[in-house]
Amino acid sequence: MFIFKLLFRFCGVVLSIEVLKPIIPNMKSTPLTTILAALFIMLLGASIELISGGALSPFARAIIGTFSSAFTFWLYAFFSATLDIPLFAIAFLAIWIGLFDLFAPTGARYAKP
């Protein structure tokens, strides 16, 4: 199930960036930049989840997704010339990815065995 969550987060981040890129003004990125940013967001979120114990609520996953994506976009835009993203776009994409993580399937956590 953990691999499914990782793939779901990765695909969600890539699709979010590629779908919202034409809508957000002054945002430019290459497909490789998008894939690398999504990979870093996925790995950062997974490592935070593993450090915190693994079984998190959807709201905690959304908060982790929001902050890890905002940090990743800010850091990547600071060091990379292939990602041009304004501060408004960083906040908008981070909230969008956090909402995506909020509704991500996490398994039947509260089901009785």
pLDDT tens digits for 52-92? Answer: 876 777 788 888 888 988 998 888 888 877 777 888 888 88
Tell me the average pLDDT across 9-22: 86
Cα–Cα dist 90/97, whole Å: 10
Q: Residue 32 pLDDT more than 80? A: yes
Question: Residue ranges of the domains in the chain?
Answer: 2-102
Asked if the model's pLDDT at residue 36 lies above 80, the reply is yes
Crossing angle of helices 87-102/2-20, nearest 10°? 140
Query: What stretches of 1-113 adopt beta strand conformation (E)?
Result: 28-29, 83-84
Q: How far apart (Å, rounded) are the C-alpha atoms in residues 60 and 111? A: 19
pTM above 0.85, yes or no: no
Confidence of residue 113 (pLDDT cuts 50, 70, 90): low
Q: pLDDT value at position 2? A: 72
